[in-house]
């Protein structure tokens, strides 16, 4: 049996990818309300007013918001496009919705609403944060 020793330098590189989603109340403030609710035998319709204030410290582009699970504010999981929001500025959008009435049957009414915010920063990197929204009258 022959044993051969090889000398050299071995480098081990470990890459750790941290989740890009965090709870970041300080980056964005989200205010919302639902108005003009109308219900017929099959559908629920209304208007969602969504206001997002950018306090992230930088301008953001391609800003979108969504709620990961249906709840008392929005009954489906589509994204609401908010666009470009400069640092210290805010944007308000109106989102008209029509959803099947059966999708509203098991909706909780008193849990906090977590908004998932995705955006592109000035360096071109895509980020996401989760923000507890504040319902306004």
Domain boundaries, the chain: 21-135
Over 60: is that where the pLDDT of 17 sits? no
Domain 21-135 belongs to what architecture?
Sandwich (2.60)
pTM as predicted: 0.72
Q: What is the pLDDT of residue 127?
A: 93
Which structure tokens are listed for 25? 């109340």
Q: pLDDT tens across 96-120, in order?
A: 888 777 766 655 556 778 888 999 9
Please return the burial class of 97, using the count of CB atoms within 10 Å of its CB with bins 0-12, 13-18 and 19+. Answer: middle
- Please compute the mean of the pLDDT values over residues 1-24 and round it to a whole number: 44
**Spatial strand order in the sheet of 28-39:** 90-100, 43-54, 28-39, 134-135
């Amino acid at each position: 049996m022959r044993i051969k020793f090889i000398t050299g330098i071995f480098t081990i590189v470990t890459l750790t990818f941290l989740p890009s989603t965090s709870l970041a109340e300080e980056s964005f403030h989200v205010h919302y309300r639902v108005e003009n609710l109308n219900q017929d035998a099959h559908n629920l319709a209304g208007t969602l007013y969504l206001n997002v204030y950018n306090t992230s410290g930088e301008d953001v582009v391609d800003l979108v918001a969504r709620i990961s699970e249906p709840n008392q504010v929005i009954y489906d999981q589509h994204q609401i496009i908010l666009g470009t929001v400069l640092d210290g500025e805010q944007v308000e959008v109106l989102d008209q919705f029509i959803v099947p009435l059966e999708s509203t049957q098991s909706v909780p009414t008193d849990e906090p609403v977590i908004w998932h915010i995705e955006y592109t920063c000035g360096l071109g990197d895509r980020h996401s944060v989760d923000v507890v929204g504040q319902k306004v009258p």
